[in-house]
A and B are shown apart, each in its own frame.
Chain A
Amino acid sequence: MNYLKDKKVYIIIVLLYIIITVLNKLGLLNSYLLQIIMLAGINTIMTVSLNIVNGFTGQFSIGQAGFMAIGGYASALFTTILFNTSSWPAYAQIPMFIFSLMMGGLAASIIGFLIGLPTLRLKGDYLAIVTLSFGEVVRASIRLIDYVGGPRGLAGIPRYTNLFWVFLFTFLAIYGARNFVNSSFGRACISIRENEVASETMGIDTTKYKVLSFTFAAFMAGVAGGLFGHLLMFLQPDTFSFLKSNDYLVFLYAGGAGSISGSIVSGLVLTIVPEMLRFMANWRIVIYSLVLVMLMLKRPEGLYGGKEFKWLKPKKRTVIAGNKGAEITN
């Protein structure tokens, strides 16, 4: 019983997946709603990735959509341009899809590393501006590359993303972020957020950890971009403008920076609620923006600022004096 209690979250996730699949099979959940759920998952990955840089390391990066674009295009390069995988047998498509997602993540993280290394010495707002510019440069550059469709966009990407993959990668992103944040790497990052000078004095190689978290976040964003491209079956550089980066910033700070739970909640809620408001046509975003402003005025720290779900908290290990080695977990 204790074992089940311990693994409650995993069971809930699996049940949720089964419920959504069954509802879809029964026809109660049409493919439009299913697509919104999948987008919510992708947005959650993006928000969590931004949270690692902005929320936990305290670096103000606002060009996350640029990494998403790199990831999306890099993975589509493998499944669509280099190899025509849509004509492949099904058993070969899936490994190729996973491989392309990893390549997307890798491409984004390599670029993230190269960008991060020189720019992370900039502080605060200047870093923000460079990352914003970076996102726009990515967009402008993709428009110039005719090989991937240029400004017309890249069509004909096979639809490999399904609910299972979204669930799996969202879970992995959250799980990875949780473990990262609670590891010694994550604690080093948090100490940089709290006071960079002090943590440097304590012997923490601040540049290394900043670049590390930046690269890690870029990887996650790249994978999310790959999922995004294989969900919509179409990529267009202008999708990844700074307005998309702004969306993720809003998700992050409305949910609460420095709280993975907040990112999950806002990733889901802020994707689904605006879709539910569709009946209001033009007034939809007006309402959304008003709610956003009011939320930030009432709770400047975000919905879940400083709070975490229990599952996401590290287990407390207390060593009782005189009984060394016997760790009590609670």
Chain B
Amino acid sequence: MTTILQLIMYGLQLGSIYALIALGYTMVYGIIGLINFAHGDFLMVGAFLVYFLAKAMGGGTLSYPVVALIIIIGMILTGLLGVTTERIAYKPLRKKPRLSALITAIGVSMFLENFPRALPFVGPQPRPFPALFPMNNFNIGGVGTNSVQILMITLSIILMIGLHYITTKTKVGSQMRAVQFDKDAAALMGINVNNTISVTFFIGAALAAAGGVFYASIYPMIDVYMGIWLGTKAFVAAVLGGIGDIRGAMLGGFIMGVAEVLATAVNSDLGYGAGFVILIFILLFKPAGIMGKFTIEKV
């Protein structure tokens, strides 16, 4: 029983990261209907930015305000990268067939992976990520955990609640929902559609950066390709929950995390495939994901 609880604990930890990344996928998909293949690479960029910022701060143990500051700077810079990407690579194709934007997304993803790889000071080799948070192991009823784990889960949940607040209670959030519902009508109502899409990309990429840093804090190795698999699994999580739906992304993330950890405990390759198998089965019975609304096509 404690083994299972222990595994669920690991699952929640992984799931919270998946959920953070899945949110970005879902928001972008919801607003412009694009599967942003480059999203996984935003998290890699975020992790690397924080890595270099921490090194610039002298490395070693940093005080809490400094850690918070560099993570926020990393998130903002990654967010700006997301906005730039959208402006350069996706915006000109908004009125064109949707699939051409998908191919540019693959192109951007390849660029974001291989450009740092070609830079001499980044390179292809994996790097150890500095311990930004203090590590204290403790035991709750036989289930071993540590302060980093709990902090990561808590911070992820806080970020998700923050996002939920932004989308449901603020002006920007209602603009985002309006654009998602109907771009042209939103524009007629005086909403600046371009800005709203930029804000969405900013938030999505910033959350991905946070996810990347949290991931690197738990599994302290980063390399330029870390975003590929993490991004894919987060994407599957987003779809599982119902793409375009923020609560769905959170739910999907946690389901993916727990399922993957439980299956990995049986066999490591099974763990990788488990999430995809679950996804296929859920989509067969609920074609729009768990929380997604299935729209009937009208002529």
Interface string of B74-86 (1 = CB under 8 A from A): 0000000000000
Tell me, yes or no, whether B32 is within 8 Å of chain A by CB: no
Let me know if A250 and B103 touch, CB within 8 A: yes
In the complex, A226 Cα to B34 Cα: how many Å? 34
Let me know if B111 and A130 touch, CB within 8 A: no
Give the interface segment out of A30-38, A78-86, A279-287.
A279-287
Tell me, yes or no, whether B181 is within 8 Å of chain A by CB: no
Let me know if B100 and A300 touch, CB within 8 A: yes
Q: Which residue of B lies closest to A292 (CB)?
A: B107
- Of the candidates A122, A133, A137, A296, which one forms a contact with B103 in the assembled complex, judged by CB atoms under 8 Å apart? A296
Tell me, yes or no, whether B138 is within 8 Å of chain A by CB: no
Tell me, yes or no, whether B287 is within 8 Å of chain A by CB: yes
Tell me, yes or no, whether B185 is within 8 Å of chain A by CB: no
Cβ of B197: which chain A residues have Cβ within 8 Å of it? none
User: Interface size of B by Cβ–Cβ distance < 8 Å?
Assistant: 47
Cβ of A254: which chain B residues have Cβ within 8 Å of it? 103
Cβ of B239: which chain A residues have Cβ within 8 Å of it? 126, 129
Let me know if A296 and B93 touch, CB within 8 A: yes
Tell me, yes or no, whether B269 is within 8 Å of chain A by CB: yes
Tell me, yes or no, whether A48 is within 8 Å of chain B by CB: no
Tell me, yes or no, whether B153 is within 8 Å of chain A by CB: no
Q: Which residue of A lies closest to B33 (CB)?
A: A125
Let me know if A137 and B100 touch, CB within 8 A: no
Cβ of A128: which chain B residues have Cβ within 8 Å of it? 35
Let me know if B117 and A144 touch, CB within 8 A: no
- Of the candidates A197, A283, A289, which one forms a contact with B299 in the assembled complex, judged by CB atoms under 8 Å apart? A197
Q: Which of A265-293 contact B (CB under 8 A)?
A: 281-283, 285-286, 288-290, 292-293
Q: Which residue of A lies closest to B232 (CB)?
A: A242
Cβ of B114: which chain A residues have Cβ within 8 Å of it? 282, 285-286, 289
Tell me, yes or no, whether A56 is within 8 Å of chain B by CB: no
Label chain A's interface by main secondary structure.
Answer: helix
Q: Which residue of A lies closest to B269 (CB)?
A: A143
In the complex, A118 Cα to B281 Cα: how many Å? 10
CB distance from B99 to the nearest CB of A (A): 6
Let me know if A141 and B273 touch, CB within 8 A: yes
- Of the candidates B111, B117, B124, B272, which one forms a contact with A290 in the assembled complex, judged by CB atoms under 8 Å apart? B111
Tell me, yes or no, whether A119 is within 8 Å of chain B by CB: yes
Given A282-B114, A288-B110, A289-B114: A133 touches B100 (CB 8 Å cut-off): no
Contacts A/B (CB < 8 Å), 9 sampled: A128-B35, A140-B273, A197-B299, A249-B106, A253-B99, A253-B100, A288-B110, A289-B110, A292-B104
Known contacts A197-B299, A286-B114, A300-B97; can you find 7 more A-B pairs with CB under 8 A?
A119-B280, A137-B276, A196-B297, A282-B114, A285-B113, A290-B111, A297-B104
Interface residue ranges, B against A (CB under 8 Å) = 29, 33, 35, 37, 89, 92-93, 96-97, 99-104, 106-108, 110-111, 113-115, 117-118, 124, 228, 232, 235-236, 239, 243, 267, 269-270, 272-273, 276-277, 279-280, 283-284, 287-288, 297, 299
Ranked nearest first, the 10 interchain pairs of A and B with the lowest CB-CB distance are A140-B273, A282-B118, A300-B100, A289-B110, A133-B276, A300-B96, A292-B107, A289-B111, A293-B107, A285-B114
